[in-house]
Structure 1
Amino acid sequence: MPLIVMCGYPCSGKTRRAEELKEYFEQNTDRKVHIVGDGGLDVDRNTVYADSQKEKNIRSSLKAEVERKVNKDHIVILDSLNYIKGYRYELFCLIKHAQTPHCLVYCLTSDDESSTWNTNRDAAEQYTKDIFDALVLRFEAPDSRNRWDNPLFTILKDDTLPYEAISDALFKRKAPPANQSTQSQPLSSANFLYELDKITQEALMAVFNAQKTSVPGDLISVPGATEKISFLHIYIENLNVLNRMFHIKLTRNVNMAELRKLRRQFISYTKMHPTENSGQISNMFVQYLNKSLH
């Protein structure tokens, strides 16, 4: 179900707030609450944040864990720095895909305040001064004008969490609409990908092989296409509808590397915009070639 993203400087009270939210929702709802955070990964934070690749791996692990736990029945709280706006955008895309609301809880503290809390921790849990300073310097504060940071709840150290407002943001608000890049694609049939691959390969080979014995200006037949289209600004010379063969005229040879590149692009596009009629794939491919090779 909903996702709560914690955000703030190191040692800004995020974990305490996450626990308070967990307690509130467990007492006031019948939903299970999961806290996903750095602590569950059993890693040394100074080692991780001193190495950009290790830090990236940790973020990926946390995101994957959130994705596994987000569902219609549970509440997930991501208790981590979440200080990079690009990463928060990735999380926003994740909840769009899962079709669930989310909100951001920003634990706002000063550098000095968080630094003091850091030095008061057990030595094993402290950030080194260099790492702490670097994280504060790199911190990208959330902004409610960004859709991935909205709704945003900014909490000072002595504030009481606005539980009802957070609850309303999670349960009384519609999930952001999924777009084509985040939706699971509704393939029209179990054979769609097979047909897509087969038909485009046949069309590609027809164009390529015909060029071996043709000169610019000759007619080339492409299997399966029935629409009247132009290719490279050269118009139809003949259309054999009964044989479902479309004749086009080329003004230059197109090498295999170029054709394969266009085929890969077309397949990627068509997976995102599948047709209910596989018989239209050949027409669509020829149209795509027509536009791409203008």
Structure 2
Amino acid sequence: MSPDTILIVDALNYIKGFRYQIYCVAREMKVRMCTVFVVATHEHCRQWNHERPADQQYTKDTLDGLLLRYEEPSSMARWDSPLFTVTWVDDDVPGPQIWEAITEGNMKPPNSGTLSVAKAPTDALHCLEQTTTTLVSLIMTEQATLQGGGGLAKLPLSASLKLEINIPARNLTLSELQRLKRQFITVHKKAITLGTTERGAVDWSEESIAHKFVAYLEEHLKP
């Protein structure tokens, strides 16, 4: 399935659940779709089955079961729309309307249920743990320099990455910073392990994690 291909699905779509799957994939791939319902009577189906070679015929019970389980498409169902219904004996197939539906019709945008899940890099969890641990250590060192007076502390995470954080004028304990670090990791760990449907690529770089953690600490550190 792709935007420059016309794909005709003519098998397994006799149940609405499968047609709904096609509908969801079409939305995810951002392609148009329509349903063409060719109506044939049960008598016609039994006649065609009887005319097939003996080794290719369905048994009576199997064919009756297929006819019983068949779920006709409905124009009221969003996954069957737009719906074009023609009878087996009808020579007047609405070809132009079908062509217009699949080339110029409304294209339904993907929603949160059909968006692809963006997975984090394999080293994202390690980077998350290491970056936050280093920042906690730097904050403890800088607090000693400020002698409990609080203020703007510089956090040289690397030669090219230097951050700043406003430390409250009180004694920050290691246990308090470790608790906030665990909370921060827990919040982001789920997105790493299960993926995310956020729009755009999620940045799991050291710089991005560091800026997010510093902002998280400044928001949650009590004066």
Shorter-chain TM-score: which interval? 0.5 to 0.7
1:261/1:147 Cα in 2 relative to 1: closer, same or farther (>3 Å)?
A: farther
Give the SS at the match of 1:143.
Answer: coil
What displacement does 1:194 show? 5.7
Q: Which amino acid aligns with 1:201?
A: E
Q: CA deviation at 1:103?
A: 0.9
Name 1:242's counterpart in structure 2.
154
**1:196–1:281 Cα contact (<8 Å) kept:** no
Say which of 152, 162, 174 aligns to 2:94: 162
Distance 1:156 1:118 in 2: 18
CA–CA distance in structure 1, aligned partners of residues 151 and 81 of structure 2:
55
Aligned-pair identity in percent equals 29
The Cα offsets for residues 93-141 of structure 1, whole Å up to 9 and x where unpaired, read as 2222332211111122333332232222222332222222222222222
Could you state the TM-score of these two structures normalised by the residue count of structure 2?
A: 0.61
For the Cα contact (< 8 Å) 2:14–2:71, is it kept in 1? yes
Match of 1:79 among 1, 7, 10: 10
Tell me the secondary structure at the aligned position of residue 158 of structure 1: coil
Tell me the TM-score normalized by structure 1.
Answer: 0.49
Q: Paired residue for 1:96?
A: 27
Contact 2:125–2:189, Cα closer than 8 Å, also in 1: no
| Residue 182 of structure 2 corresponds to residue 266 of structure 1 | no
1:31-180 to structure 2, matched below 5 A, reads: 67=1, 70-72=2-4, 74-159=5-90, 160-180=92-112
Between the aligned partners of 2:56 and 2:26, the Cα distance in structure 1 is 31
Letter in 1 for 2:130: E
Contact 2:35 2:84 in 1 (8 A): yes
Please state whether the residue corresponding to 2:31 is helix, strand or coil: coil
Tell me: CA distance 1:130–1:196, structure 2 relative to 1, closer, same or farther (3 Å).
same
Counterpart residue number, 2:220: none
| CA deviation after TM superposition for structure 1 residue 179, in Å | 3.2
Match of 2:130 in 1: 202
Contact 1:100 1:174 in 2 (8 A): no
Deviation at 1:197, TM superposition (A): 3.2
Measured in 1, the distance between the counterparts of 2:176 and 2:123 equals 26
* C-alpha RMSD of matched pairs (Å): 4.4
Closer, same or farther in 2 for the Cα pair 1:156/1:283, shift >3 Å?
Answer: farther
Tell me the equivalent position of 1:32. none
Q: Distance in 2 between matches of 1:94 and 1:270?
A: 18
**Distance in 2 (alpha carbons) for counterparts of 1:183 and 1:82:** 23
- The amino acid that maps onto 1:161 is V
How far off its partner does 1:203 sit? 6.5
Secondary structure of 2:48's counterpart equals helix
Task: Give matches, 1:208-219, under 5 Å.
Answer: none
Distance 1:81 1:241, change over 3 A: same
Contact 1:111/1:136 (<8 A) preserved: yes
What is the distance in 2 between the residues matched to 1:270 and 1:81? 31
For 1:75 and 1:221, the matched residues in 2 are separated by 56
- Aligned equivalents of 1:139 and 1:282: distance in 2? 56
Q: Could you tell which deviates more after superposition, 267-276 or 107-116?
A: 267-276
CA distance in 1, matches of 2:64, 2:185: 50
Question: How far apart in 1 are the matches of 2:65 and 2:75?
Answer: 24
Distance 1:241 1:197 in 2: 26
Residue pair 2:128, 2:185 contacting (<8 A) in 1 also: no
2:221 counterpart residue number: none
Q: SS state of the match for residue 107, structure 2?
A: coil
> Any gaps of 5 or more consecutive residues in structure 1?
1-66, 207-219, 225-237, 288-294
State the match for 2:143 in structure 1: none
Q: How many residues align?
A: 187
SS in structure 1 opposite 2:9? strand
* Offset at residue 195 of structure 1 (A): 6.5
